[in-house]
Amino acid sequence: MIPQQYLFPDLPEELKGLEDIASDMLWHTVSGSRRLWRKVNPQLWEATSNPWFILESLSKERMKELSQDEEFLSLFHCQLEERKRYFEEKTWFESNFPYFKGNIAYFSMEFGLGEELPIYSGGLGILAGDYLKTASDLGLPVVGIGLLYQQGYFRQLIDSNGEQIEFYPYNDPALLPVFPLRNESGEWIAVQVQLPGRMVTLRSWWAKVGRVFLYLLDSNDPANIPSDRTITGPCMEAIMRCGFCKRSSLEWVDGNSLRS
């Protein structure tokens, strides 16, 4: 399997590599990275904390300004060098288990990697996300398997009477640091799951967490009937269907090699 990103507008030569930083969920937690994105667009950073969305929102004029901004370029080059060292250094796992071959699949109903990928609802999701980040730091051959929810945990507003109003923002994949998982022919990888009287199609996505890949399944496919498209709808409702979700994940792993 070859993970491929969306086609991305050409960045100026001075900004090459910025898309790698923006798409890496591990790198969003690095302090220097936060300063970098605040410099790119302080208002959008405070509103979203989403580097990928900020990068997608960059105008050509702003790209040109950044490519000539010495303060920004200094921050950017520091991040590139830090990433280079991170990926080139020998990991704990390589040092202690040099002959191990294969991958370890880590299943979770939620992965809390950051606000920019709201597919979690509580502490267990944050714990699962921390496991993936730690696996990357140690060099463990782990791949995460989860679900791409159309709505994560609810946001709240307080009305004039002091009452809570819940709302569930839609997770538009085009604005999230996730990408369609395609095979060598460029076809979007999907898994077919048998339900009573029908098949459900689950699309495959990937996200990057340092050295670790997170694979996510999504039922919001036009080939499915409307009710099935909401199987991976609101996070907590989908978790209640955990039997279906676990079976779907296992069938996906059974049909796709994790060695690529």
Between CA 89 and CA 59 the distance in angstroms is: 35
Quick check: is 116 in a domain?
yes
- Shared domain for 194 and 217, answered yes or no, is yes
Backbone angles phi, psi at 43, to 5 degrees: -65, -45
Distances (CA, A) of 215 to 76, 144, 238: 28, 6, 17
| CB contact at 8 A, 110 and 239 | yes
Which pLDDT tens digits describe the chain residue by residue (260 residues)? 444 455 555 789 999 999 999 999 998 777 788 899 999 999 999 988 899 999 989 999 999 999 999 999 999 999 999 999 999 999 999 999 999 989 999 999 899 998 889 888 878 889 999 999 999 999 999 999 999 998 877 778 888 888 888 777 788 888 899 999 999 998 999 988 888 888 899 999 999 999 999 999 999 999 999 988 888 876 555 555 555 555 555 555 555 555 44
Between CA 50 and CA 176 the distance in angstroms is: 8
- Shared domain for 107 and 200, answered yes or no, is yes
Quick check: is 240 in a domain?
yes
- Shared domain for 210 and 125, answered yes or no, is yes
- Shared domain for 241 and 144, answered yes or no, is yes
| CB contact at 8 A, 12 and 64 | yes
Residue whose tokens read 């609101």: 234
- Shared domain for 192 and 73, answered yes or no, is no
Give the residue from 88, 121, 146 where a domain finishes.
88
Distances (CA, A) of 187 to 2, 183, 238: 10, 6, 27
- Shared domain for 69 and 110, answered yes or no, is no
Entry pTM: 0.85
Between CA 65 and CA 221 the distance in angstroms is: 39
- Shared domain for 62 and 150, answered yes or no, is no
CB atoms within 10 A of CB 86: 17
Which CATH number fits the domain that encloses residue 159? Answer: 3.40.50.2000
Quick check: is 95 in a domain?
no
- Shared domain for 125 and 206, answered yes or no, is yes
Give the residue from 59, 88, 117 where a domain finishes.
88
**pLDDT score, position 242:** 54
**pLDDT score, position 1:** 43
Quick check: is 155 in a domain?
yes
**pLDDT score, position 195:** 82
- Total number of domains constituting the chain: 2
Residue whose tokens read 């004039």: 160
Range of the domain at 8: 2-88
**pLDDT score, position 254:** 54
| Closest listed residue to residue 118, CA positions, set 212, 21, 48 | 48
| CB contact at 8 A, 106 and 142 | yes
| Closest listed residue to residue 235, CA positions, set 141, 140, 108, 102 | 108
- Shared domain for 80 and 113, answered yes or no, is no
Backbone Cα Rg of the chain: 19
